[in-house]
Amino acid sequence: MLSAARGGSSDRKLGSWKLNYFLTRSSCLEKVFTYLVVKTVYRCYFHPLSSYPGPKFAASSRLWFVYNMVIGVLPQKIRRLHEELGPVVRVAPNELSYSSSKAWNDIYGFRSGKPEMSKETPLYQAQPPGILSATRIKHSHFRHLMSRGFSEAALREQEPLVKGYADLLMGRLHEQAKLGDAVDIVSWYNFFTFDVIGDLAFGEPFGCLATSDYHPWVKMIFDAIHLIGFKQALGHYPKLDRLVPYITPKALADKWDSHDQMTREKTLRRKESKVDRADFLSQLIKPENNVTDEELFGNATTLITAGSETTATVLSSVTWFLLQNPEAMLKLVSEVRSSFHDTSEINFISVNKLKYMLACLNEAMRVFPPVPSGLSRMVPEGGDLIDGKWVPGGTHVSVLQLAVNTSTANFSRPNEYIPERWMDDPRFMNDDQTAMQPFSTGPRNCIGKNLAFVEMRLILALLLFEFDLELDDKTEKWNEARVFIIWEKKPLWIRLKPVTRL
């Protein structure tokens, strides 16, 4: 009986412990639930940004933003919100997206006497150290050093090199045309831009045109961009940063490590070389300019990616839209072939007279911007006016090119490819052309704009002078692509027919 009594006592104690544990756990769950409810209600209805339109899920949590970023559809989702809700939408608890032309200058412009809209956001924290993520003072230093490599004098010096690769590209395309098969013109544009930028940055090409294939390092760059997007998404959850090495797919991490190692090897080889020319790294590698190796590596990575991928994107998109719009294609072909009698006449200077070509390129950058994502900045402490309305300090803000370029408030017939809108056509006299800023604006606008334009004009002029283009049947909806900071371009299969001249 004593044993039974003791057993009963133990059972009661165990039962009591279980009850207390259950009540405690229930209490904790209730507290967590209550906290989440209160937090959600506050963010949706009492937060300083609660007056801005946007999905309640996006207002209450970063999950909507991060999920769409990870699957590559965030810019497209935000563009739809702008179409439904107007020029400013709330896309996260502390983030606003804009699609007005005025917001460009308010966020990215010269802010004399004001603190800069900082880059202390996950987008830039995921970048290597360099001009892209640098503070205002450091950025000015880097830009000053790089400016020599992008000057008018440097362009004149670089022309034979660029023209040489352009001629090599045309030669390889003639070889492909003889085979009679469709070619993926996206790859060939990338081969050209990577070879040029590799030579101008490292003093040696990647050899893509020579081998008709991507250099292994170039392939790594595409994978690295995916990883930067992944790190950017996790950057919105700082407590998870330490988990990045454990939750990053091993294959992706290995490719990033290989990319980093090859960047260092190529950069150090350029640093130790005796090449004396005004290229992109010539000033950065001089000891007296006090650029650390890490900053040198970061700037090299930025130059290679920004100086090649975006240019190839514009060339690809203008080719796609011209093939979709035969009248525009016919008009541009006529302009090119009536302006030149031989390819030797096509150069950096002569392509500047092709006004309709410039309109075609501008229109391609409008409907398919090379950088479709919003480049977020953070409003300084104390807040500031953006597009005429006060925004509190600490808020992340950006102009989404994909939205601002196709807003009916900025452009007539915004979703149509019509180059004439850039040629004083009266049908588009009310278009707000300042809304389109493919190279951004302000003190941090793209330093390589001039080089990009001459490359694009040169290649497009040579291509249309040498070939008739036809879209292959296996290319469908090329412009419907995912975005991981930049576009994940699909193959653009075309057929090339060499032009016969007497």
Cα 77 to Cα 91: distance, rounded to the nearest angstrom: 10
DSSP assignment letter at 499: P
Alpha helix ranges (H) inside 180-243: 185-202, 208-211, 216-234
Residue with tokens 């983030």, as numbered in its chain:
95
Cβ-based neighbours of 217, under 8 Å, separated by 6 or more: 206, 259, 262, 263, 266
CB 295 within 8 A of CB 130: yes
Question: Could you write out the DSSP letters of every residue in 18-83?
Answer: HHHHHHHHHHHHHHHHHHHHHHHHIIIIISTTTTS-S-HHHHH-THHHHHHHHTT-HHHHHHHHHH
Q: Is 446 annotated as a binding residue?
A: yes
CB 438 within 8 A of CB 370: yes
Cα 125 to Cα 105: distance, rounded to the nearest angstrom: 23
Residue with tokens 């790190």, as numbered in its chain:
231
Give the helix/strand (H/E) hosting 159.
Answer: helix 152-179
- 253, two tokens: 């991490």
Cα 425 to Cα 169: distance, rounded to the nearest angstrom: 35
- 192, two tokens: 């050209």
Cα 396 to Cα 383: distance, rounded to the nearest angstrom: 11
Distance of CA 219 to the CA centre of its chain: 17
Can you name the residues that pair with 470 across neighbouring β-strands? Answer: 495
Cα 495 to Cα 472: distance, rounded to the nearest angstrom: 6
497: region left, alpha or beta (phi > 0 left; psi from -120 to 50 alpha): beta
CA nearest to 182, candidates 460, 463, 474: 474
**Amino acid found at 493:** W
Cα 416 to Cα 218: distance, rounded to the nearest angstrom: 33
CA nearest to 367, candidates 404, 420, 399, 422: 404
CB 203 within 8 A of CB 279: yes
Residues 52/58/61/62 CA torsion (nearest 10 deg):
-110
Question: Is residue 179 exposed (0-12), middle (13-18) or buried (19+ Cβ within 10 Å)?
Answer: exposed
Binding site feature residues for heme = 446
Binding site feature residues = 446
